[in-house]
Amino acid sequence: MCLFRLIRVHFVLAAALSLVSAAEPDNEIDGLVGRLDDESFAVRDRADRVLREIGKAALPALKRACESDSPEKRVRARILVQKIQREIVRREFERMGKLADADLEVERAMWAVSLFLDPELEQAQLASSLDEIALAVRKRIGEDRKPQALPPADAMKALIFVLKEEFLLSGDTATYHHPDNSSAYRVLRRKKGLPILLSEIAVAVARRLELPVVGLGIPGRYMIKYDGGRAPGEGPGSDIIINPFEQWREMTVRDLIFSVPGFDADEHLQELPVRLKILRIMRNMESHALVTGRRDLQEEIRACYTLLAGPGAARFR
Residues pairing with 215 in the sheet: 224
pLDDT number for residue 315 = 53
pTM: 0.83
Is residue 216 helix, strand or coil? strand
For a pLDDT cut of 90, what percent of the chain falls above it? Answer: 64
pLDDT band at 313 (very low <50, low <70, confident <90, very high): low
Of residues 93, 25, 17, the one with CA closest to residue 303? 93
**Cβ–Cβ < 8 Å for 32, 43:** no
d(CA 170, CA 174): 11
d(CA 52, CA 93): 19
pLDDT number for residue 107 = 97
Q: What is the pLDDT of residues 142-174, one digit of tens each?
A: 988 999 899 999 999 999 999 999 999 999 999
Name, in order, each residue with C-beta under 8 angstroms of 92's C-beta and a sequence gap of 6 or more: 112, 115
- CB count within 10 Å of CB 229 equals 11
d(CA 64, CA 67): 6
What average pLDDT score do residues 218-242 get? Answer: 87
Q: What is the pLDDT of residues 55-102, one digit of tens each?
A: 888 888 888 888 888 888 888 888 888 888 889 999 999 999 999 999
pLDDT number for residue 222 = 96
For a pLDDT cut of 70, what percent of the chain falls above it? Answer: 89
Of residues 98, 57, 111, the one with CA closest to residue 80? 57
The alpha-helical segments, DSSP class H, found in the chain are 2-17, 25-34, 41-54, 59-65, 71-97, 106-114, 123-141, 152-161, 184-190, 195-208, 253-259, 265-268, 274-291, 295-309
pLDDT number for residue 121 = 94
Pick the CATH number of 2-97 from 3.40.1190.20, 1.25.10.10, 3.40.50.1100, 3.90.226.10: 1.25.10.10
Q: What is the pLDDT of residues 33-68, one digit of tens each?
A: 888 888 888 888 888 888 888 888 888 888 888 888
Question: Cα–chain-centroid distance for residue 208?
Answer: 18
pLDDT band at 16 (very low <50, low <70, confident <90, very high): very low
pLDDT number for residue 234 = 63
Q: Is 170 left (phi over 0), alpha (psi -120 to 50) or beta?
A: beta
pLDDT number for residue 81 = 84
pLDDT number for residue 23 = 42
Up-side HSE of residue 219: CA atoms within 13 Å toward CB? 11
